[in-house]
Amino acid sequence: MVTNSQSENEGSRFVEFRRKVRAAEVLSAAMEQLLKSIQFTGRVSVVVQNGRVLKSGYEEGYFRQRSEAAV
């Protein structure tokens, strides 16, 4: 069963993920860890020109794990 604090923690991690995408901070080990922690299954896109990140974004693919009681 997912507790309220677990749900809030997961939500805050997803907000941090969105902030990193908007700030073009997607090419880091911290981002990889964040993606794993929120179980992100979508696509993250990065456009780089002359060594600078010009644009970044993501396609939704974020799915919460089903609880055993919901099955």
| SS3 state at 62 | strand
Question: What is the C-alpha to C-alpha distance for residues 57 and 19, in angstroms, rounded to an integer?
Answer: 11
pTM of the predicted structure, to 2 decimals: 0.56
Task: Tell me the residue range of the domain where 25 lies.
Answer: 4-70
- 43 forms beta bridges with 59
Q: What is the dihedral of CA 65, 17, 8, 38, to 10 degrees?
A: 20
Write out pLDDT tens, residues 17-69. Answer: 888 888 877 778 888 888 888 888 888 888 888 878 888 888 876 555 555 55
Question: What is the C-alpha to C-alpha distance for residues 23 and 18, in angstroms, rounded to an integer?
Answer: 9
State how many domains the chain has: 1
Confidence of residue 71 (pLDDT cuts 50, 70, 90): very low
